[in-house]
Chain A
Amino acid sequence: MKRIAEFFCIIVLLPSLNLIAQVPAKPMKDIAGFKTRLNSMSATISTIESDFVQEKNLSVLANKITSRGHFCFKKENNIRWEYMQPYKYLIIINKDKIFIKEESNQKQYDIQSNRMFQEMNKFISGCIQGDILKNDKEYNVGYFEDDKYFFVKLVPVSEKMRQMLNEVQIWFDRNDLTVSRIQMVESGGDYTRIDFTGKKLNTDIPVEKFSFK
């Protein structure tokens, strides 16, 4: 009976151990240095362009739901977040306006008119520019590292927020301090992972990319 219980524990725990193993667990040595480098990197970057792969992991599914798209950022606060496969979905944030286009519907909103959009805007641009790390009123921030990444873990202070989002994890590339991965973990353990690939910095992105047509 004990053996059966041990076997059961191994089967149940293996996937979570695998997940934990991917997260850098070594505490960051020089947090102040990391923050300084991040701030200066952020100051020198005017645009970021990247492909992304989003994986939604639901515990009830054996496979992940994968979607792919393209991401553009241009200072100040212009974001284009475009899903291309397996569905078309486009979010454009242009300063204080947000535009959402689905396959059969498109709408424009004033960010200030909607608390959810304000939070979304703050979250996305905060992750890209690293400003989210300064937000210690809303998040408890933990700093870690390994050979490849600086890893930051943000736990929302508000219990209400934690019911929706238990933890936000951000992987920064050690070389250029750009965001390589964002993982949003829900309270039940389901998570959304976004990997950024083929990053291009300071390229000329036309303003039309952020206009609502």
Chain B
Amino acid sequence: MLGSCSFTVFNGYRHNGQYSGGKPVSWFRQDTGVVVFNTTIDMMKHHFSGLMVIKPLPDDAYRVIFITEVGLKIFDMEFTRREVIIHYFMEAMNKKALVNTLTHDIGLVLMTEHAAQTPAALREKSSGATVLKYRENGRRNYYRLDETGKTNKIVQTGCILNKVQADFYSTGNNRVDSICIAHYHMNLLIKLSRISNTAGNAEE
């Protein structure tokens, strides 16, 4: 859980002129085929765990399926550039607030949301890393890029306060190995840890 009062006005970035590079590309677009993550979701007092399957589809869309370790399907959703199609959501968990939060967070890490706009280029004061800022629906998304141009952190803010932070960890080979999504003002933490290719055989 992140600090409960993180203000966006002191966000630790400085302007770095007009950005001339390409848009940040989703890790799952760069990756090859289906990715399976060992996943835990801690929300309020509830704890869920299972396997999150992410499959890239044509037109920048993704199919995301969450199943328990014993094989029970919790949800099956499709993320396109325009909408989220819910193919299945287990009735016991099909609560509007939960569905909205999960679709928002998953959409954020899939990077389906940022519009075709030229981002403002910033520089992180502490590290000097390039940060791209997109404005969307009253929110701002900050994508911090590593030295190879890949996104290793997304911070989403409202007008005044930070809302969500997603950190990406990679050991190379163009693939993301783990992701941590944390909310600043809600007790919600989602951790995804990639299952190795050799052990699981869902890679296509």
Contacts and interface: CB of A to CB of B under 8 A. Distances in A.
The answer to whether A binds B is yes
20 contacts: A56-B51, A56-B67, A58-B53, A60-B63, A61-B202, A62-B204, A63-B202, A63-B203, A65-B36, A66-B200, A66-B201, A83-B69, A85-B199, A91-B70, A105-B40, A105-B49, A184-B71, A186-B73, A188-B88, A192-B71
B127 to A, nearest CB: 28
Interface residues of B, number: 31
Given A58-B65, A65-B201, A164 B195 contact: no
Nearest to A58: B65
Interface string A92-103: 000000000011
B6 interface: no
Interface in B32-73: 34, 36, 38, 40, 47, 49, 51, 53, 55, 63, 65, 67, 69-73
Contacts of B71: 54, 56, 184, 192, 194
A66 B49 CA distance: 17
Given A87-B38, A105-B40, A105-B47, A61 B204 contact: yes
A210 B135 CA distance: 54
Given A102-B40, A188-B88, A64 B201 contact: yes
A89 interface: yes
Interface in B152-204: 195-196, 199-204
A190 B90 CA distance: 14
A138 B65 CA distance: 28
A104 interface: yes
Interface in A57-92: 58, 60-67, 81, 83, 85-87, 89, 91
A146 to B, nearest CB: 25
Given A58-B65, A105-B47, A86 B91 contact: no
A2 interface: no
Interface in A162-194: 163-164, 184, 186, 188, 190, 192, 194
A107 B47 contact: yes
Contacts of B91: 160, 163-164
B147 to A, nearest CB: 30
A54 B68 CA distance: 12
A115 B106 CA distance: 29
A95 to B, nearest CB: 20
Nearest to A87: B38
A142 B25 CA distance: 52
A63 B201 contact: yes
Contacts of B47: 105, 107
Nearest to B203: A63
Which of B34, B71, B76, B90 lies at the interface centre, i.e. has the most chain A CB atoms within 10 A of its CB? B71
Nearest to A81: B70
B43 to A, nearest CB: 14
B75 to A, nearest CB: 12
